[in-house]
Chain A
């Protein structure tokens, strides 16, 4: 039976059989849809990519107020544009490891406080200039310093010095950090000629494509870079169209105006998947939707009250009704299986009795005010209403205050003691914890200050022994799980969709949506 299925998969991959037909035959042979999709993906990859053609994508998040400066990139469209023309030193591989981009290889000193990245020899920028270690060092330095506006400033703050040394860049830290190479995969840290200091928005880099035409928030056209050093990039031309409206984006895919879209609304993803010529892909990621309490503000400064709320939320219900199954339950830590060094913690279940017990123990019996808005995460007001109902069963009176989308991130999030929010996640535990759970973190949006947690975090950075590090992160996870101000009911999947016109989607890659935003380069237009 397997050979027959393989044969079908091969035919499907070569376009001799439709994907729909293949899935049908696979189902008839008793193969689950997931397994069949994987098989088909493997077969498509084995058949090999085809070169040429124009690949169009419709993406959400772009705006005419965007800039081409990688330091200022904040959304999916800006990220996708960066991927086309530029590269960081290293990049996340599909399995969550690292692969070299502008850097050929890297190594750390024994104390993990100094890291050396060897620049790939002989590669050039799209303006013909050869990439030097000086360019790379200047690129990193542009994101540090007090007057930068870069989104990577948080990462660069622990960097003491960057210098070029022969054909290598040496990054010196103010303390050990075993994860530094992961930080260098940040999408802001693109290597530009002279560090981009001459013209940060020139979009000149070492990427597989060259930007030909750009109108911010509308369209971006890129053509294959003939001098690209690697084998990335199949389509001759990639067109990026900004379609912020959900319905319009799905319609554009269905009518063949675009070949791939991101952020299919979970609510309609099931319906979209049934449309002819459309494939919906769901990828687990580190992104999560949260309810955050300030641990230093009454009544949330009482851990029993926090526990009461944690027990008073029905996580599975949220996954079913808010994510429509496109996600997984959270466990009150920001970490899930998509992280390296992950250990499972016993799942906290919805338990009205325990919630009631902790509520009584806290001695607080007034109402608890929860602020929410539509843009804190899709469906946040609905999720808040669900939370209100499940908490009510435990005798907790949750009051919901709907805040305007406008100004939510400046007026409510990280200001008000209890609100809904989301996190995109980070590639490593260290980065996630350092960003939001270290006592001194700028975005410590739960005001979580725990000395033991901080010590473990610093110690884990210097720990090169994987087993010991895993244990440390497990301990930290437990502290957050039991004492933190984070209620994490769910991890949201990335839901993308592609048309039958293109092939080569790889399921379950690490990083961001659309194959860590490499889908347009790695997929191909079927002949």
Chain B
């Protein structure tokens, strides 16, 4: 087991190094954005005096180098400072927003992941027959349409016409009871499910089909097992590593890529929070969000790596 522990430590160290590099990128990126924080905060109604006052107060006159290290030091200790525009503490604000985003991502994942895998298995079972073609067609169509458009279509038919669920998530309150919360996020969850379904389902289908070519599957078939039992007991465990990989990738997407959906459905998550502050050039918030998104992405991919290493003896004992 010693080699496995070393491998894990190695992976985590690599992840941290990557995160550090990303932090530099984020910092540089936010600095070279056009425009200036003070101007963006005050908007068209900025007078030169007000601008100069605000700039001095925000410490924008200090060199970038020293700003980076004081920011990184704070970020490591969990202190992202205060938002330039509203003066609120970023860490508490992000805590709340991240909670909302995770709540949405969690419910979308709870529905999308099992559904995608089940549909994938179903597609393999009825390979090249109409259920397979129908599943592939529908999921591929839903991934090809821009997500905001799916959002609007769902909003119009389910929210406005049928009135099954609230048309936007504005009524979402973190302190409401679970059913009310689920009711208000129903539409975004539907859209997110549609968006991430195809990728996972196709990967499941491809991975299992690949395994299905193997000799031991033929043996299982010759033993007289039913098709579904073969897939479940013999093919799926051997196909799990690419599936976990793509599931993790989509989970990461559900957390960091939902900006558009959050904005369209007015859901108070990280995406909306980030967009608001990008347009105001509120650099500390943008940096904090960027870092957290990067951490989530790197973290989930690391988990995927580790799972596939652990599930595959060949990767567990590299030459």
Contact = CB atoms under 8 A, between A and B. Distances in A.
A binds B: yes
Interface stretch (B136-144, B245-253, B259-267): B259-267
Nearest to A410: B39
A251 B266 contact: no
Given A216-B88, A219-B170, A243-B170, A64 B273 contact: yes
Contacts of B34: 404, 406-407, 410-411
Interface string B257-284: 0000001111010001100110110100
Interface stretch (A150-158, A451-459, A484-492, A503-511): A150-158
A248 B168 contact: yes
Interface stretch (A106-114, A122-130, A141-149, A356-364): A141-149
Nearest to A69: B87
A251 B159 contact: yes
Nearest to B85: A65
A382 B93 CA distance: 39
A63 B273 CA distance: 8
A66 B85 contact: yes
A245 B85 contact: no
B170 to A, nearest CB: 4
A217 B272 contact: yes
Contact of B276 (A63, A149, A243, A248): A63
A242 interface: yes
A153 B166 contact: no
A201 interface: yes
A385 interface: no
Interface in B143-161: 152, 155-156, 159-160
Given A74-B42, A409-B43, A255 B160 contact: yes
A65 B86 contact: yes
A135 B93 CA distance: 32
Contacts of B83: 65
A190 to B, nearest CB: 16
Contacts of B17: none
Interface in A146-180: 146-151, 153-154
Contacts of B170: 58, 218-219, 241-243, 252, 257-258
Contacts of B33: 406-407
Given A251-B155, A410-B36, A257 B168 contact: yes
Counting chain A residues whose Cβ lies within 8 A of the other chain, the interface size class is 35 or more
B35 A410 contact: yes
Interface in B224-258: none
Contacts of B171: 241, 257
Interface stretch (B48-56, B116-124, B305-313): B48-56
B52 to A, nearest CB: 9
B86 A66 contact: yes
B53 to A, nearest CB: 5
B44 interface: yes
Interface in A198-246: 201, 215-219, 241-245
Contact of A254 (B40, B47, B49, B167): B167
B101 to A, nearest CB: 13
Given A241-B266, A252-B170, A407-B35, A65 B280 contact: yes
B266 A245 contact: yes
A215 B268 contact: yes
B167 A248 contact: yes
Interface in B69-123: 83-88, 93
A216 B159 contact: no
A147 B53 contact: yes
A249 to B, nearest CB: 8
B42 A244 contact: no
B280 A248 contact: no
A413 interface: yes
A247 B155 CA distance: 9
A76 to B, nearest CB: 12
B50 A148 contact: yes
B163 interface: yes
B266 A248 contact: yes
Contacts of B277: 63-65
A148 B53 contact: yes
Contact of A151 (B42, B57, B268): B42
B258 to A, nearest CB: 14
B45 interface: yes
Contacts of A251: 155-156, 159-160, 167-168
Interface-central residue, B34, B50, B57, B264, by most chain A CB under 10 Å? B50
A64 B53 contact: no
Nearest to A421: B44
B285 interface: yes
Contacts of A50: none
A154 B47 contact: yes
Contacts of A147: 53
A413 B44 contact: yes
A248 B155 contact: yes
Interface-central residue, A219, A404, A410, by most chain B CB under 10 Å? A410
A149 B53 contact: yes
B49 A153 contact: yes
A442 interface: yes
A431 interface: no
A67 interface: yes
Contacts of A150: 50
Interface in A249-297: 251-252, 254-258
Contact of B50 (A66, A153, A242): A153
A409 B171 CA distance: 33
Nearest to B163: A255
A219 B34 CA distance: 30
B187 to A, nearest CB: 10
B166 A255 contact: yes
A504 B84 CA distance: 40
Interface in A362-403: none
Contact of B264 (A72, A248, A407, A413): A248
Contacts of A242: 170, 266
A276 B312 CA distance: 61
Nearest to A375: B279
A56 B23 CA distance: 41
A242 B272 CA distance: 11
Interface in A47-98: 58, 63-67, 72, 74
Contacts of A201: 87
A410 B86 CA distance: 20
B266 A409 contact: no
A247 B152 contact: yes
A214 to B, nearest CB: 11
26 contacts: A58-B170, A63-B277, A67-B86, A148-B53, A154-B47, A217-B272, A241-B170, A242-B266, A243-B170, A244-B266, A248-B265, A251-B155, A251-B159, A251-B160, A252-B266, A254-B167, A255-B160, A255-B166, A257-B171, A404-B34, A406-B34, A409-B35, A410-B35, A410-B36, A411-B35, A442-B48
The 9 A-B pairs with the shortest beta carbon distances in the complex, nearest first, are A407-B35, A65-B85, A410-B39, A407-B34, A63-B276, A255-B167, A251-B167, A218-B268, A241-B170
Given A218-B170, A255-B166, 14 more contacts: A63-B279, A64-B86, A149-B53, A149-B57, A154-B47, A242-B266, A247-B264, A251-B168, A257-B171, A258-B170, A406-B35, A407-B40, A410-B40, A443-B44
